[in-house]
Amino acid sequence: MVTDCHRDSLGCLIGYGLAAGITALLSQELFRIPLVVSARTFLYAALVVMLSAIASSVSIGLRLQQLDLIAVLQTRE
């Protein structure tokens, strides 16, 4: 069973690997793009994911409140 902590760190590792791969592909003889990732970068990424999840759940909750469940349950297929 994968815990939340392991899943989050796995996502950070995958993100870091993608960034390193893109940086390696974009580096040429004329210029090189350095890969600079700090703890603040991971914190910002986690904050964006949490805010997106909150916004999504609020949006879904508002749409569910507007449903007329009795009318939905009475409809025949």
Reported as a single tens digit per residue, the pLDDT across 22-38 is 999 888 878 888 888 88
**Integer Cα distance of 49 and 55 in angstroms:** 10
pLDDT digits (tens, 9 = 90+) for 34-74: 888 888 988 888 899 899 999 999 999 999 888 877 877 77
User: 10-19 in b/e burial notation, b at 16+ Cβ within 10 A?
Assistant: eeeeeeeeee
Considering all CA atoms of the chain, what is the largest pairwise distance in Å, rounded to the nearest integer?
Answer: 68
Amino acid at 22: I
Length of the chain in residues, anyone? 77
